[in-house]
Chain A
Amino acid sequence: QKEVEQDPGPLSVPEGAIVSLNCTYSNSAFQYFMWYRQYSRKGPELLMYTYSSGNKEDGRFTAQVDKSSKYISLFIRDSQPSDSATYLCAMKRIQGAQKLVFGQGTRLTINP
């Protein structure tokens, strides 16, 4: 069983829709949670990060962590064609070198 599970999609939605991307994890030691966005043929770039449970909002993006359920989500409001990319969740244990464990990535397409 993978430590981090993410539905690979692909997910296709119309412009303006609310998008929900999710990951589950099995290791309760994970404390830091991140979302990366990866455009085609590019390296991933950090989109959002959160520590422990709760919500964090940044413009049209909201990251949510539920540690009791070992479940994290990324919501995109008013989705735009420029949001079309692969989204990867990542997480880290609180101690040790900063080794991130990544989900498989969800490929998202926003249709104009």
Chain B
Amino acid sequence: NAGVTQTPKFQVLKTGQSMTLQCAQDMNHNSMYWYRQDPGMGLRLIYYSASEGTTDKGEVPNGYNVSRLNKREFSLRLESAAPSQTSVYFCASSEPGVLKEGYTFGSGTRLTVV
């Protein structure tokens, strides 16, 4: 059971560079999410996709874009990276209405912007 797979696991970018973080889930979940985790800030929602074909902003969307490519895949793009985007990024998925299962998280992407 792969669950939620994130790539890459680590990345160092220079200010102004762009990159896409990839996320794929194999649990047939309808909803997918991107969070960032910073010390003392907990997990903050960047964007989410309630179902295939829809995306919505979360708490901290500025500087990011997302694409729900299909039911399995949800990517996060940084168009022009800034040092403030240095963080650990987590993708998660869930099935609406099945609360007991909660979210399933990937293992994270550790991004450093210099």
A contact residues vs B (CB 8 Å cutoff): 4, 6, 8, 32, 34, 36, 41-46, 49, 51, 88, 92, 97-100, 102-105
A34 to B101, CA, bound (A): 11
Q: Is the CB–CB distance between A46 and B103 below 8 Å?
A: yes
- Taking CB atoms, residues of chain B closer than 8 Å to A36 are 102
Q: List 8 A-B contacts (CB under 8 A).
A: A6-B42, A43-B105, A44-B103, A88-B42, A98-B94, A98-B99, A98-B103, A102-B42
B33, closest chain A residue (CB): A99
B contact residues vs A (CB 8 Å cutoff): 4, 31, 33, 35, 40-45, 48, 50, 56, 58, 90, 92, 94, 96, 99-103, 105-108
Q: Is the CB–CB distance between A8 and B102 below 8 Å?
A: no
B45 touches which of A51, A99, A105 (Cβ 8 Å): A99
